[in-house]
Structure 1
Amino acid sequence: MIVCSCNVLTDTNIKDIVNSGTCPRTPGAVYKCLGCSPSCGRCIATLRNIINETLAAETSPAEMPCRTSRELNVA
């Protein structure tokens, strides 16, 4: 499902980046990780819900530690 029509971001794009190991936890961080930025802002509430649901679906924080972008050498 397309969540952000301005940037053509899907729920799959968002879930994949949240599960990527860098663990962006805010809509702004997700946009930054995906190399884009919000335009109209209508998707923010849906994006936040997808982030929260994806993080809640993780089995255990100890099993899937979040790493910073520096640790992953991501700019």
Structure 2
Amino acid sequence: MARLLITATYGYDNSTRAAMPFFVAKGAKESGIDVGIVLALDATVLVKPELRQYVKPHGLPPLDELFQFAVDHQIPIYV
């Protein structure tokens, strides 16, 4: 099985870039790829639901929805 580890470095101040690693992880998981997400630098604040709710990227699902997909499908999130 293929493996993928995605590093996120953007926080809530750049919604599209903050959500992109979660969007890629969702696609990878749906394709059968073993995937994990690393939150580094400004992205570490995305574990807080009170901040995550404000991340509404252009052209992507809201981060709350993508984050919940990761939790529901047991995608590891490393901080």
TM-score by length of 2: 0.28
Larger Rg: 1
TM-score by length of 1: 0.29
